Chains A and B, each alone.
Chain A
């Protein structure tokens, strides 16, 4: 007999607590949505975000420090000459490996590599994940 009573008490308790929970849901039903319809709406990225790098080739002195500090050696640097006269042929970052750790930016003596606000990394091939910053800068200069 007691088991039957307990059984029904449980059902009543369940219905009661679910109703309380639904109250919370109802309250939220009439509040502003918190979701974003990505990719139509893009989230606002704060300053200092650690996204895809930006690189200022004119400032780079080819000191190799960023290549050395990078934990996963995903920066490829090829250059001629030294210091201010250095000519950079290649500055590639492989984003299939990059940890977005910011160490390369912190170690740079001339502050020429930064992390930008771009976070969209999707691409069709692996090769597209390697961004050739030096080449991009050269193309920009020609234009």
Chain B
């Protein structure tokens, strides 16, 4: 009788085609009933050899490929790669171009956080936030579409500057968006952030203590959610970020413990507001001038190496370039924030409920295009 009634742990595959894994991520979870004993992440389904492709293309040609790493934040990716090349080639970027890059990057950050807001809501079982998030995102994407002509793979920041200048119409639309978004932000909080069920689902779930966050090399909202004040835009400014006034939000355990899923979520929400501030400052202080620096037609980089990092919506995105003096990089290495952030999943998805695994993954907010590269 004893043998007959014994329980058994079973291995369950979550993904690669699972609605709550944000792309093709496979999680293998060892479950004991509703409890998850262990989680293993399996990645690589989207591997496209991006780094190797980069070594076979000229610098100019690789910029559109960076769009496809973290496809929710293309402009940030373009910017990171361009900065690395510009650093090594000593290309001067005009001030106006730097401002426009900041504006593009911040718009992209908002668009990315809106997706994260919507999907996290959906993972908690609330379908409505997804539509609300996408409604505002649509408005934003329409503006970026006018700026560069594309809706997802923007290819906006170029070596030496940006693709196109903004028109008065785009400036007007952007200001309009900032106004709407500020109102909607309050609505979002009513809908999701302070909803009791959502708080119960995220507070005290997937707690990452400060030391653990640093130990795992987390960056971006995941690190700041654990109460660490670290933002490259402030601590290692690039592209004239030092000229803009904004605050860096970090988790304070308002709804539970510092470093829980709600804190990470809240950091993203506050970042949306801060980005709006930056966009307004860019529009107010946009200097006149050219939008493209002097870039030789055949770009040959001097022998050497450069590492440039930018604050992507998900964390520190770094490009390490080694040049042997030719037209193509000798070695290109990408330090992706999602990849590093995802490494904590095995440690977090332990002794929790199956539904919590979904919430934890959602709160880490990975983009598989960049994890697998």
Using a CB–CB cutoff of 8 Å, the interface residues on chain A facing chain B are: 10, 13-14, 16-18, 20-21, 23-25, 34, 46, 48-50, 69-71, 99-103, 115
Selected from A21, A48, A49, A50, the residue in CB contact (under 8 A) with B195 is: A21
Could you tell me the distance in whole angstroms from the C-beta of A102 to the nearest C-beta in chain B? 7
Given contact pairs A34-B135, A71-B65, A101-B64, A10 touches B191 in the complex (Cβ within 8 A): no
Cα(A102)–Cα(B154), bound, Å: 10
Q: In the complex the two chains form, is A71's CB within 8 Å of B149's CB?
A: no
Selected from A23, A69, A102, the residue in CB contact (under 8 A) with B163 is: A102
Q: What string of 1s and 0s marks CB contacts (under 8 Å) between B47-87 and chain A? A: 00000000001001111110100000000000000000000
Cα(A2)–Cα(B320), bound, Å: 57
Could you tell me the distance in whole angstroms from the C-beta of A30 to the nearest C-beta in chain B? 15
Q: In the complex the two chains form, is A100's CB within 8 Å of B60's CB?
A: no
Among A13, A16, A17: residue with most chain B CB under 10 A:
A17
Q: In the complex the two chains form, is A20's CB within 8 Å of B64's CB?
A: no
Q: In the complex the two chains form, is B64's CB within 8 Å of A49's CB?
A: no
With a CB–CB cut-off of 8 A, which chain B residues contact A49?
145, 149-150
Q: In the complex the two chains form, is B149's CB within 8 Å of A18's CB?
A: no
Q: What string of 1s and 0s marks CB contacts (under 8 Å) between B135-160 and chain A? A: 10010001001101110010100000
Q: In the complex the two chains form, is B149's CB within 8 Å of A23's CB?
A: no
With a CB–CB cut-off of 8 A, which chain B residues contact A17?
190, 194-197
Cα(A18)–Cα(B199), bound, Å: 12
Using a CB–CB cutoff of 8 Å, the interface residues on chain B facing chain A are: 57, 60-65, 67, 128, 135, 138, 142, 145-146, 148-150, 153, 155, 163-164, 187, 190-192, 194-197, 200
Selected from A10, A50, A102, A115, the residue in CB contact (under 8 A) with B196 is: A10
Could you tell me the distance in whole angstroms from the C-beta of A63 to the nearest C-beta in chain B? 13
Selected from A23, A71, A100, A115, the residue in CB contact (under 8 A) with B57 is: A71
With a CB–CB cut-off of 8 A, which chain A residues contact B163?
102
Given contact pairs A17-B195, A34-B138, A102-B155, A69 touches B60 in the complex (Cβ within 8 A): yes
Could you tell me the distance in whole angstroms from the C-beta of B298 to the nearest C-beta in chain A? 11
Q: In the complex the two chains form, is A13's CB within 8 Å of B64's CB?
A: no
Selected from A21, A71, A102, A115, the residue in CB contact (under 8 A) with B191 is: A21
Selected from A21, A71, A99, A103, the residue in CB contact (under 8 A) with B153 is: A99
Cα(A87)–Cα(B163), bound, Å: 32
Cα(A16)–Cα(B259), bound, Å: 27
Q: In the complex the two chains form, is B196's CB within 8 Å of A16's CB?
A: yes
Top 8 nearest A-B pairs (CB, nearest first) are A101-B64, A50-B149, A71-B61, A13-B196, A14-B196, A17-B195, A17-B196, A46-B146
Q: In the complex the two chains form, is B155's CB within 8 Å of A10's CB?
A: no
In chain B, what residue has the closest Cβ to A71? Answer: B61
With a CB–CB cut-off of 8 A, which chain B residues contact A69?
60-61
Instruction: Using A34-B135, A103-B61 as known contacts, list a sample of 18 further A-B pairs with CB atoms less than 8 Å apart, ordered by residue number in A.
Output: A10-B196, A10-B200, A13-B196, A14-B196, A14-B197, A17-B194, A17-B197, A21-B128, A25-B191, A46-B145, A46-B149, A48-B149, A49-B149, A49-B150, A50-B150, A71-B64, A71-B65, A103-B64
In chain B, what residue has the closest Cβ to A34? Answer: B135
Cα(A103)–Cα(B78), bound, Å: 14
With a CB–CB cut-off of 8 A, which chain A residues contact B164?
48
Could you tell me the distance in whole angstroms from the C-beta of A64 to the nearest C-beta in chain B? 14
With a CB–CB cut-off of 8 A, which chain B residues contact A10?
196, 200
Q: List 25 A-B contacts (CB under 8 A).
A: A10-B200, A14-B195, A17-B194, A17-B195, A17-B197, A18-B197, A21-B190, A23-B190, A25-B128, A34-B135, A46-B146, A46-B149, A48-B164, A49-B145, A49-B149, A49-B150, A69-B60, A71-B57, A71-B62, A99-B67, A99-B153, A101-B64, A101-B153, A102-B149, A103-B60
With a CB–CB cut-off of 8 A, which chain A residues contact B196?
10, 13-14, 16-18
With a CB–CB cut-off of 8 A, which chain B residues contact A115?
149
Q: In the complex the two chains form, is B155's CB within 8 Å of A101's CB?
A: yes
With a CB–CB cut-off of 8 A, which chain A residues contact B62?
71
Q: In the complex the two chains form, is A48's CB within 8 Å of B191's CB?
A: no
Cα(A75)–Cα(B142), bound, Å: 29
Cα(A88)–Cα(B274), bound, Å: 53
In chain A, what residue has the closest Cβ to B61? Answer: A71
Cα(A18)–Cα(B196), bound, Å: 8
Cα(A70)–Cα(B58), bound, Å: 10
Cα(A21)–Cα(B61), bound, Å: 47
With a CB–CB cut-off of 8 A, which chain A residues contact B138?
34
Cα(A102)–Cα(B147), bound, Å: 13
